[in-house]
Structure 1
Amino acid sequence: MTNLPHDFNRLAEPKTEKKPAPFSLRLSFGERTRLEQDAGDKPLGAYIRERLFGKDAKPRKGTGKRPIKDQQALGRVLGALGRSRLASNLNQLAKAVNTGSLPVTPDTEKEIREACKAVTDMRDDLRRALGRNPEGGP
């Protein structure tokens, strides 16, 4: 067995940067309510850091407490999903395709195209509701 320096294990360990401990602050219900109102759509922690440090406040990664950008678009999607039997119908179509029993008629093709458009419209509304560009960009 070779003699290794006694601090070999310490030197061999990967260096990980420790995160600072969180800071807690007790607020009354009224104080917290006021902070949340003043913060608007910003996460409360980001708002407090901004108020304390101004331009020197470093942003943190995260989605924020209210990622929904367009409530009406989200409502349209949820309403459409509630009214439709889209998942069931698509499942039946997939089963028919797999078994070879799907007759391809002009009506069938029209219904498949309508279902595809409905799925595309819902995808676009969801992207808008989440603040994303429906055409696929940021």
Structure 2
Amino acid sequence: MPGLGVTKKTPPFSLRLTFEERARLEELAGSEPLGTYIKRKVFNGKGAGKRRARSRQRRPIKDEQKLAQVLAMLGQSRIANNLNQLAKAAHIGTLPVLPDTEREIRKACADVALMRRELLRALGHRTDTEPSS
């Protein structure tokens, strides 16, 4: 309505692409939102005005096979159940701290750390044990 400070939104623009064209654009855009990437390219990095930045960026999976492998490892493990049982035993004082027990707990912690590193790697993040490239 004129005079009430209400602004009209610009209608959206639609563009049909083949699967190959869209895949190529997504590859070129990387973690940048696709619409932002296209506008930046079309207008040579000079937009009409500043827009509020998105709080969440899409991060494509870097290694889907590695991600599937880690998810399978998690599915086969009983880590959550075992950690819960250990926590209960520690809480009530029935967890004997024998060398075998300590070794198994350390092994479980190492397994969890390995899964964390592999998940980060599969999602395209540098892990704390890898040099930056």
TM-score by structure 2 length? 0.69
Q: Distance in 1 between matches of 2:65 and 2:38?
A: 30
Quote how far apart the aligned CAs of 1:77 are.
1.9
Counting aligned pairs with the same residue, the percent is 44
Structure 1 residues 24-63: aligned runs within 5 Å:
24-28=12-16, 31=17, 33=19, 35-41=21-27, 42=29, 43-56=33-46, 60-61=53-54, 62-63=56-57
Instruction: Point out the more displaced range, 31-40 or 99-108.
Output: 31-40
Q: How many residues align?
A: 118
- The one-letter code of the counterpart of 2:23 is Q
- The one-letter code of the counterpart of 1:24 is P
- C-alpha change, 1:131 and 1:122, in structure 2 (3 Å) is same
Quote how far apart the aligned CAs of 1:103 are.
1.3
Partner of 1:75, secondary structure, is helix
1:68 to 55, 58, 61: 61
Moved over 6 A (4+): none
In structure 2, stretches of 5+ residues that fail to align are: 1-6
Bigger share in helix: 1
TM-score by structure 1 length? 0.67
The superposition leaves residues 68-98 of structure 1 with CA deviations (integer Å, 9 ceiling, x where unpaired) of 2232332232011011000000000000000
Higher relative contact order (CA 8 A, sep 6+): 2
The superposition leaves residues 96-120 of structure 1 with CA deviations (integer Å, 9 ceiling, x where unpaired) of 0001001122221111011000111
